[in-house]
């Protein structure tokens, strides 16, 4: 049974969906949620679901080894579910091929620093794109540049607002993110649990 630690900065609806998915699986379990925001909505979800949560600050993350040491002890996989800071090189190095992010667009389009959440959906609306989607990818030291594992698309209608686009993207995320994580874990570990 592999141990997943989720990083989330905001609402955490993906975090909740992943936690619930793995509650019925023997492949992996979500042991902790880590957040950089003291009042993130995801903390309430963790409480309700009985999953441990921890808040850390920039100093813990980049200046000291506090977060790294915690992960080395507690995590086999790290899942970024709406987490907005870049992962420091020392964590990327320690978890090569074990950190997975979801991005709410079809990378390499609409990626990079500042491109997150509603910023992405507004930009897509402004550019009158006819489709958008999700990208699930491994994480390296650069924002949104690691190897792509999975993408799924959805059509955008003329009348769709950025909020409508966000909802369509979230639906794809809920449908595909947990099962893609499980597939990676199974591929990397065979059927060993
Ligand atoms: C998700 O749509 C995720 O793809 C996006 O933040 C949202 C978090 O929603 N991530 C990024 O933009 C990362 N660049 P949630 O907190 O409800 O899961």
Distance (Å) from CA 74 to ligand 1 centroid: 24
Among the CATH numbers 3.40.50.170, 3.40.630.30, 3.30.465.10, 3.30.1360.120, which is that of 2-188?
Answer: 3.40.50.170
Rounded Cα distance between 185 and 192, Å, is: 10
- With contact defined as beta carbons under 8 Å apart, do 48 and 15 qualify? no
**For ligand 1, is residue 173 a contact (CB within 6 Å)?**
yes
Per-block average pLDDT, block size 10, for the chain (193 residues)? 96 97 96 96 96 96 96 98 94 96 96 92 97 96 88 97 98 98 95 55
pLDDT value of residue 192: 54
Return the active site residues.
103
- Domain-wise residue ranges, the chain: 2-188
Neighbour order of strands in the sheet with 131-138: 52-55, 28-35, 2-7, 77-80, 99-103, 131-138, 148-155
pLDDT value of residue 191: 61
Distance (Å) from CA 140 to ligand 1 centroid: 18
Which ligand 1 atom minimizes the distance to the CA of 143?
14
């Amino acid at each position: 049974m592999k141990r997943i630690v989720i990083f989330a900065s905001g609402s955490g609806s993906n975090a909740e969906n992943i936690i619930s998915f793995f509650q019925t699986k023997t492949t992996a379990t979500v042991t902790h949620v880590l957040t950089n925001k003291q009042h993130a909505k995801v903390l309430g979800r963790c409480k309700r679901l009985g999953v441990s949560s921890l808040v850390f600050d920039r100093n813990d993350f980049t200046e000291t080894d506090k977060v790294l040491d915690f992960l080395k002890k507690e995590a086999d996989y790290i899942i970024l579910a709406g987490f907005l800071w870049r992962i420091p090189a020392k964590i990327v190095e320690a978890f090569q091929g074990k950190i997975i992010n979801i991005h709410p667009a079809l990378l390499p389009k609409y990626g990079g620093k500042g491109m997150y959440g509603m910023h992405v959906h507004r930009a897509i609306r402004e550019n009158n794109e006819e489709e958008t989607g999700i990208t699930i990818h491994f994480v390296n030291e650069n924002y949104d540049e690691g190897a792509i594992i999975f993408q799924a698309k959805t059509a955008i209608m003329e009348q769709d607002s950025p909020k409508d686009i966000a909802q369509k993207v979230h639906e794809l995320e809920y449908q595909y993110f947990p099962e893609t994580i499980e597939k990676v874990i199974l591929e990397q570990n065979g059927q060993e649990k």
